[in-house]
Amino acid sequence: MSQLNVRVYYEDTNSGGVTYYANCLKFIERGRSEFLRELGSEQDQLMHYQAIIFAVESLSSEYLLPAKFNDLLTIHTEIEKLRRASLIFSQKIVVLKQNKILFKAQIIVTCLNAISFKPCAIPSATLEKING
């Protein structure tokens, strides 16, 4: 599991003073990117050297509580299931000082050939890093 802290800035909020709903998707995207980075798999290097990219295939989410201006959030990211050409991530956003879950999502991310944009197998070196 990976954790990333994110601060809610004024620019992240809507007219009601709470985090605009789409920003939760941005926050979890950062969480997945950092998860791969922690494994030693930089997405730009995967594209440049192995001609693969990862793309969101589907997403299921629940907004449970609002995040407010200046809240410190923790993005929790873990792989729920590993397939030959895709990863199923489980993610949640927790407000740090209250330890309450604000948002949770399940995301299917598919490995694509960077040129044809067709699904392809996740490279074995990346799989080894994920499996630890």
For residue range 32-90, list pLDDT tens digits in order. 999 989 988 788 888 888 899 999 999 999 999 999 999 999 999 999 999 999 999 99
Q: What are the chain's domains?
A: 2-131 (3.10.129.10)
Count helices and strands in the chain by DSSP H and E runs: 3, 5
Q: What is the pTM of this model?
A: 0.91
Q: In this predicted structure, what is the pLDDT of residue 19?
A: 94
What lies within 8 Å, CB to CB, of 35 at 6+ separation is 2, 77, 78, 89
